[in-house]
Structure 1
Amino acid sequence: MIQAMYKRTKIGCEVLIQQAIDECPISTIKLYISRYYKKNNQRWALWARQHSPLLLQVTSTNSLESYHSELKRTTSSHYGLIGACHKVVALDQKQRTDSEYVAFEFRTKKISVMGLDDEILNEFHKFPYPIQRMLADEICAVENRIEKGKAIPGLTSLHCNCLFFIRYLLPCHHIFHEQIYGPTKLLTTNSWRNFQLMFEESGFEVYFHNELIEVDILEQTKAEKAAEN
């Protein structure tokens, strides 16, 4: 079922769900999967989120649930109304302080990667700190590809169909593999700058409105005809 969640096509997801049902030896679990997973897979599977990088990134509500868990841990039914309010305010202040610290590091902290080319590292440092960490993981994954005997991807443009690129719209380990060992140098000074500009003004909020929009071909044709007239 974990594989089904990360499948990027509806057909592939449904095949894996059916496979899980067929291979499950317990009839009650089979019925549960069929009722609560198979019929509404568009609500939980990532194939239904391919249009939005943000929805691909946010696959859990743990960050929201942690606030309520902490609130339950620090309060009690023995508290009066005023005491409970004080606890809520104290937790809110702690959360705000933590978020301000993270926001400060977002723009100022720099990552260090042993053995990484200084030119590439300097480009990494122009990104927000969380992006630096993700890019570092991707470029380190290139060595894992080589150890597994995988060939150079043969990319000819800064676009990849892997989940990381679709999720974050950033250079992935396939692009880095091509850049470092392939004949095509995709990451030019200008292309690096274009990636960095994504976060310059609004940080991660760039993903809030960055999504693919399906346009009906018939409606598009009518609009074009109206423009011509």
Structure 2
Amino acid sequence: MKSRGRQDAILRTLRRTGTSTLAALVREVGASRSTILRDLSALRDEGYVIHAEQGRGGGLRLDPGSVPATARLTVTEVFALIVCVSSMRAARTLPFSSLADAGLAKIEKTLPPDTLRDLRRLLDCLYVGPLAPQVDTSTLGDTEAALSPAFEQAFLERSRLKFRYRDAKGTETERQVEPQAMLILPPLWYLVAWDPMREDFRHFRMDRISRPEVIEGPAFRSRRVPFDAGVQPVRYA
């Protein structure tokens, strides 16, 4: 387990149990005593107040109010929340969408400038718009389970993505593209990509993609995607 995962596990244990011991954390996290001590030191450096009780057993207690809940959110984690909230807001009929929107805005106000800058770069690749009434959604299917992790990796690392694609007529072709943006047109989700073979942008319905595979190699360059006037980039930060 990497250090971030261990530290999150330590925080979960301390929050859940209230008070724990070093020996219990060693068992819970599955790391050595010295590693747990290093992780505790790193957490304290981040601002977490972890009280150590003297005496046999070495009790440990986390001050629940010591650090804001947003302190350990990464850029990609905040972006993932924005994707989810944006899809809720675009659907317009889902309960609690406005509350989720307000909560996310509060989270973003606490982000440091460098995190905010990186987040805005990702938001340039997230678009939401209304679905045209003539679009047929009767064939909407489930998205293949393997697509989400493959798309996330290719999108964030700017790696090419290879997959099989089934068009509206049922014809399947193999594609290898550069994921440039994500387009949400409820209830449809699209991968917007630059197709090097066709030297043009293409929109791929995610429920029609199968057998996705990330292609390792140099990062491709970002391209500005042209959209219709009704499609707008998501803006929070």
TM-score, normalised to structure 2, is: 0.22
Larger Rg: 1
- Larger fraction in strand: 2
